[in-house]
Amino acid sequence: MFTIEHEFDATVITLVDDGDTPLQEDVIVTAFAECVTVSQYDARRDEVHTVTLSPAQIRDLGAALDLPEGAYKVDGSSVRR
């Protein structure tokens, strides 16, 4: 399950683990114009861990989801090995 909220300066997507146990904490993806953050609460340490990705890293991640093992470079609208 997930939710999408459009705020003034960002789009916030919350991924809720509603499957079988053991369940994981929610993952919050916040997309700003200049970066995307991915955050998740760590109950063992009682803190939130956040990773910040550039727009280019998000583009590469999207391309990588459908490719086999290897090293690639996104060049304009094409991906090459």
| pLDDT tens profile 7-53 | 999 999 999 999 888 899 999 999 999 999 999 999 999 999 999 99
Count Cβ atoms below 10 Å from residue 37 Cβ, excluding itself.
Answer: 15
| Full residue range of the structural domain in which residue 70 is found | 2-80
Q: What is the count of structural domains for the chain? A: 1
* Rounded distance between C-alpha atoms, residue 75 and residue 61, angstroms: 14
pTM of the model: 0.84
Check if the beta carbon of residue 39 is closer than 8 Å to that of residue 30. yes
